[in-house]
Structure 1
Amino acid sequence: MKELEKNLQYHFNNQHLLHQALTHTSKTGKLSENYERLEFLGDRVLGVAVAEMVYRVFPAEPEGSLSQRFMALVCKETVAEMALKLGLDRYIMAESVDVHHNDNVLCDVCEAVIGAMYLDGGCQTAIDFVQERWRPLVDTHTRPPKDAKTLLQEAAHEKGLPAPRYVEIGREGAEHNPVFHMQVEIDGTEAQTGSGRNKKMAEQNAAEKMLAFLGVKHGK
């Protein structure tokens, strides 16, 4: 783990926390030994750290623009990419190596490590870690990215299609870590389904898939 700590630029006083943060549920179902609870905590720490960062970096932007920047910085794909940059994929402990390349798992592990750091070194240590590594992802010279739902609304209008409708079609997972499934429907097209940790994220995911279905580019 020394090489990983070198990548993180942080030494864990409690090595069990780091080990737990890297342990997939397929390896053990014990909550005290897998990353589920740490992921729950780290997700919240990540959110606070990124929210504070965009609030301070963009003092003149309204809430809507800050929200768009925030969503782009904490979405599954961004966090999974950060996990790869930190080399976390090489240390995940799971029954199958396939999970090492799964965005959902990479995102969860990254957040679990942040949660473990919060418990080991304190709130400010974890926040500083997040802000130092996410800061290069913030671009102060461009407009905030349009979210997928906004782009889909505009694309539907331009194509003469009705406005998109979003319908919840299911929910699964543990109470503290649910996964929502939302479906976006536009008359005259094939409905698309998306998933996320809350309804808003699931809607965004569904909108991204509909944009792809319609052939509309959506840069993250």
Structure 2
Amino acid sequence: MKISADIQAFQTRLGHEFSQPELLLRALTHSSISSPTRPDNQRLEFLGDRVLGLTMAEALFEADKTASEGQLAPRFNALVRKETCADVARQIDLGAVLKLGRSEMMSGGRRKEALLADAMEAVIAAVYRDAGFDVAKALVRRLWGKRIDRVEDDARDAKTALQEWAQARGQKPPKYVEVSRKGPDHAPVFTIEVTLESGETERSEAPSKRQAEQAAAKALLQKLEAAHG
């Protein structure tokens, strides 16, 4: 099967040359452009989610042989959540080769976090179907890279930790305020400010309110830990 230059370039970025390139094309096909003769990537997404999950569960199980289930679970969630999958997708510029319908393309689908995350899982499944679990596992661990090593920091729920810090000192829960929202509807950027009753404050921006709140809380925690030890 002959493939286009942009798909060939994506295979290079991905680090896997498909013996069945039709699997990759299916993984890149969004439901907005699917047809009876052009199936979308939803079934592959379902499978890829499981391949990713098993890969990360095994990686965490092997990396820390003394960790309890309660310690492993938040680390696992941090590695397989949509934000992380979308971040990996952006790393290999997956959005550039997504097959989208006109309306989805016009609304910025190539940059949408949910679409990127779903397609990343579908691509993982395509590699699994093309070359087997060991190849798919090696690819995932390479693409996720240092995210696996630093997962303890990423798994920490900064908002919860900051609230516990405040409560331990007799303060009210932190307040989060949306300072601004900029950019188009399909690619917004939120700026969130968090403030403690004692006056300490920090701001952060991100593509979603939740991410911006977590980033602001993390930044304030780091400031507090540096100041108070």
TM range (shorter): 0.5 to 0.7
- Which amino acid in structure 1 is aligned with residue 116 of structure 2? L
Percent identical pairs in the alignment equals 34
**1:19-34 matched pairs, under 5 angstroms:** 19-30=25-36, 33-34=39-40
Report the structure, 1 or 2, having the larger helix content.
2
Task: Render the CA deviation track for 1:78-97: whole Å, top value 9, x for unaligned.
Answer: 11010011121110010232
Post-superposition Cα deviations, 1:134-191, rounded to whole Å, max 9, x if no partner, equal 2321236966732368447637845446xxxxxxxxxxxxxxxxxxxxxxxxxxxxxx
Q: Relative to 1, partners in 2 of residues 1:118 and 1:32: Cα closer, same or farther, differing over 3 Å?
A: farther
Aligned to 1:170: none
Q: TM-score, normalised by structure 1?
A: 0.68
Count of residues paired in the alignment? 173
Distance 1:143 1:58, change over 3 A: farther
1:100 is aligned to 2:101: no
Q: Which has the larger radius of gyration?
A: 2
Work out which of the residue numbers 19, 36, 40 in structure 1 matches 2:42: 36
Distance in structure 2 (CA, Å) of the matches to 1:160 and 1:111: 41
| Distance in structure 1 (CA, Å) of the matches to 2:115 and 2:37 | 16
Q: 1:216 to 1:140 in 2, by over 3 A?
A: closer
Tell me how far apart the structure 1 counterparts of residues 162 and 119 of structure 2 sit (CA, whole Å). 31
Counterpart amino acid of residue 112 in structure 1? A
Matches within 5 A, 1:7-156: 7-30=13-36, 33-95=39-101, 96-97=104-105, 98-139=108-149, 145-147=155-157, 150-151=160-161, 154=164
1:17-53 residue CA offsets vs partner (Å, 9 max, x unmatched):
1000001100015496110000000001000001111
Q: Unmatched 5+ residue regions in structure 1? A: 162-207
Name structure 2 gaps, 5 residues minimum.
Answer: 1-6, 174-208, 220-229
Q: Does 1:217 align with 2:217?
A: yes
Determine if contact 1:155/1:216 at 8 Å carries over to the other structure. no
Residues 41-68 of structure 1: per-residue CA shift (max 9 Å, x gap): 0001000001111111122222222111
Structure 1 counterpart SS, 2:31: coil
| Letter of the structure 2 residue corresponding to residue 118 of structure 1 | Y
Cα gap change, 1:148/1:66 in structure 2, threshold over 3 Å: closer, same or farther?
A: same
Q: Look up the equivalent residue of 2:115 and give its one-letter code.
A: V
CA displacement, residues 181-217 of structure 1 (integer Å, 9 cap, x when unaligned): xxxxxxxxxxxxxxxxxxxxxxxxxxx849939x961
